[in-house]
Amino acid sequence: MTAAQSYLEQSSPPGRTGWKAWLLTHDHKRLGLMYLWAILFWFVLAVILGLLMRTELMGMGRTIMGPEAYNSMFTLHGVIMIFLFGIPAIPSIFGNFFLPIQLGADDVFFPRLNLLSWYLFMFGGGFAVFSLFSGDGFPDTGWTFYVPFSISSAGNVSLTVTAAFILGMSSMLTGLNFVTTFHRMRDKAMGPMQIPLFTWSLYATAWVQILATPVIAITFVLVVLERFLSIGLFEPDKGGDPLLYQHLFWMYSHPAVYIIILPAMGVISEIIPAFSRKSIFGYKAIVYSSLAIAIAGSLVWAHHMYSSGMSDVSVFVFSLLTFLVAVPSAVKVFSWVSTMYKGSIAMSPPFFLSLCFIYLFTVGGLTGLVLGAAGTDIHVHDTHFVVAHFHFVMLGGTGFAFFAALHYWWPKMFGVMYRNRPAYVGAVAAAVGFVFHFVPMLILGMQGMPRRYYDYLPQYETGNFLAGFGAYLLVFGLLLMLLNLVFSLRNPRTAPANPWGGTTLEWSIPSPPPVENFTDSPNIKDFPYDFSEIVSNSNK
């Protein structure tokens, strides 16, 4: 494979050179890379902000910052992690790169719309940065922007929610692209039950992106209108209802966390079979559970509002529905574990990270049950228990799956192999640091330490101090993995087409892939996880 022929050298549309070849590209693979660099920037930034917050919490009283700064920190950390990392990370990077390839297509259905999505992403991010530097500084409302405080707060609320609006547009267009590509650009030989599970999870995610994102977009528009025109929609003084805002906000933001986790689960569904040398257990169950999570996850938003003052009927109904959502997720965990059973396990960094995912996500899901049950939620609402729960599922879940995807697909995307040892060391450090950081938070939360406070009562000091050490270890591990990957780009491009023995279509093309993806027509198997060939080849 000569270097001149891969997508890294050849532009689409053809003939462009220099920066135009990237900034005006139609190639979904190049767009995936462009998203990658931007998203890694946002991730590192938000991680450092988190570290600053954790450092502040390590000591009682004012350690390095006061309450105003702390409030802005957690708002910024939340906004970046949710809107600029969590939601776009796996779909926009790996989805853009691999969804068309896994379907046997040469690009997405709307390549130029894809480019627009990227520009909207950068534009929205720019807005967010601008709101950090201009006027009264970044808002201190929390990423949830609850009214009435967000209506009257002096910080740049309007700018920040506009940034979120623009990022939402990017998300919607990506979702639209994926749904259309899924339906219209599949290779003719590939029926629905032959589509890889990563693509299925992206399909379910794309639906949620399309349907739910407009809700938050309009909600933020209403907040801006309320701020400037005092229309009285949310302000009680003017006859409005602050709970209306909460309903509207969570109507998107709960499905948003499923946007965050579903592609991650799809990644795990790819990695586990590949390194167990065994077909995935329960392919159909995983497909239906992905769709079920997307649907059921859109029904349960008010479980964030149990103590907000809404009606008891609501509390009961939403608590009941929340229990339903746990079921499809559990189905997936059972399927992954069953896949590994009696498989031929080959350890590798992506597989190790996937194992971490399974454990951490399960713990996160179980703590979610405590929060989903209205009775127990009353005790731990707005404590660090909640913070620990969502970090377990979003960092322990999607975060680790993101790193697993990075390690799994890095050779394919760049044609280089990274060194395994730093990857393992980083992964272990991250996992151990994660546990030492967030398990104390679960305990502190149950003991009553409120969240979003820069200071606390003396009895919480020990837990916070210890948790701080875990935080530093976690960040060390994450950065080590990232640096290892980035430095591997200096290696020669010697990665084989199929370094891991995967069976989906991206492993049948060279690393890195050519511009048109498939030089010969793709060889669609009857079942996407048929390892018989791989196994027989390795037996020779």
183 vs 379 by CB, closer to other proteins: 183
By CB under 8 A, which span of 21-29, 162-170, 331-339, 497-505 interacts with other proteins?
21-29
Min dist. Cβ of residue 365 to other proteins (A): 23
Between CA 10 and CA 15, with CA 11 as vertex, the angle to 5 degrees is 100
* Region 71-110 residues binding other proteins, contact defined as CB under 8 A: 71-73, 76
Determine the interface stretch with other proteins among 89-97, 193-201, 308-316, 423-431 (rule: CB under 8 A): 308-316
Residue among 21, 169, 293, 495 that touches other proteins (CB under 8 A) = 21
H/E element, 163: helix 157-184
Nearer to other proteins, 317 or 330 (CB): 317
Which residue's CB is nearer to other proteins, number 126 or number 375? 126
* Phi (first) and psi of residue 6, to 5 degrees: -90, 170
Q: How many residues bind other proteins (CB under 8 A)?
A: 77
Rounded to an integer, what distance in angstroms lies between the CA atom of residue 21 and that of residue 27? 10
Q: How far apart are the C-alpha atoms of 88 and 341, rounded to whole Å? A: 33
Q: Which is nearer to other proteins, 142 or 343 (CB)?
A: 142
Closest CB 321 distance from other proteins, rounded Å? 9
Displacement of CA 486 from its chain's centroid (Å): 20
The length of the chain is 540
Query: Rule CB under 8 A: which of 477-506 touch other proteins?
Result: 486, 489-490
Q: How far is the CB of 432 from other proteins (least distance, A)?
A: 25
Q: Least distance in Å: CB of 456 to other proteins?
A: 16
Residue in the block written with tokens 């020990």:
462
- What residues between 413 and 472 interact with other proteins by CB under 8 A? none
Binding residue for other proteins, selected from 116, 129, 417, 524, defined by CB under 8 A: 129
In angstroms, rounded to a whole number, what is the distance separating the alpha carbons of residues 78 and 76? 5
Residues 365-424 that bind other proteins (CB under 8 A): none
Q: Work out which of 7, 94, 138, 518 binds other proteins, going by CB under 8 A.
A: 138
Asked whether the beta carbons of 115 and 26 are under 8 A apart, the reply is yes
DSSP, collapsed to helix, strand or coil, labels residue 6 as strand
**The two three-digit tokens of residue 236, written as one number:** 């009680």
- Which among 118-126, 362-370, 463-471, 526-534 is the span making contact with other proteins, rule CB under 8 A? 118-126
- Residue pair 517/105 in contact (Cβ under 8 Å)? The answer is yes
Question: Which stretch, 68-76, 198-206, 272-280, 386-394, contacts other proteins (CB under 8 A)?
Answer: 68-76
Rg (CA), the chain: 23
Binding mask 25-54 for other proteins (x = CB under 8 A): ---------x--xx-xx--xx--xx--x--
Residue 514, helix vs strand vs coil = strand
231-260: which residues touch other proteins (CB under 8 A)? 237, 243, 247, 251
115 with 31: CB under 8 angstroms?
A: yes
Q: Quick one: which of 246, 285, 282, 286 has its CA closest to 266? A: 286
**Minimum distance of other proteins from residue 69's CB (angstroms):** 4
Nearer to other proteins, 119 or 341 (CB): 119
Nearest Cα neighbor of 477 from 416, 387, 406, 403 is 403
Instruction: Decide whether 248 or 340 has the Cβ nearer to other proteins.
Output: 248
Given the complex with other proteins, which of 309 and 458 has the nearer CB atom? 309
Query: CB 395: neighbour CB atoms within 10 A?
Result: 23
CA-CA distance, 49 to 103, in Å (whole number)? 39
Please give the structure tokens belonging to residue 169: 């547009």
* Interacting span for other proteins (CB under 8 A) from 11-19, 162-170, 375-383, 515-523: 11-19
Residue with tokens 């377990």: 392
Site residues for other proteins, window 285-304 (CB under 8 A)?
Answer: 298-299, 301-302
Question: Secondary structure of 213-234 in the HEC alphabet?
Answer: HHHHHHHHHHHHHHHHHCCCCC
3-state SS, residue 24: coil
As measured in angstroms, the least distance from the Cβ of 258 to other proteins is 14
Interaction between residue 114 and other proteins (CB under 8 A): no
Minimum distance, C-beta of residue 315 to other proteins, in the bound complex (Å): 9
**C-alpha distances in angstroms, 406 versus 93, 243, 338, 409?**
10, 40, 24, 6
Stretch 196-235: interaction string toward other proteins, x if CB under 8 A: -----------x---x---x-----------x--x-----
Q: For residues 73 and 169, which CB has a smaller minimum distance to other proteins in the complex?
A: 73
Q: How far apart are CA 53 and CA 55, in angstroms?
A: 5
| Residue placing its CB nearer to other proteins in the complex, 312 or 520 | 312
State which residue, 148 or 282, has the beta carbon closest to other proteins: 148
Secondary structure (DSSP) of 72-106: HHHHHHHHIIIIIIITTIIIIIIIHHHHHHHHT-S
CB of 273 to other proteins, least distance (A): 29
Among residues 5, 59, 123, 496, which is the contact residue for other proteins, using CB under 8 A?
123
In the region spanning residues 317 to 336, those forming contacts with other proteins, defined by CB under 8 A, are 317-318
Query: Least distance from C-beta 219 to other proteins, angstroms?
Result: 12
Positions 140 through 199 that interact with other proteins (CB under 8 A)? 140, 151-155, 179, 183-185, 188
Count Cβ atoms below 10 Å from residue 137 Cβ, excluding itself: 16
CB of 496 to other proteins, least distance (A): 21
Give the bridge partners for 126, in sequence order: none
Beta strands in 379-538 (DSSP E): none
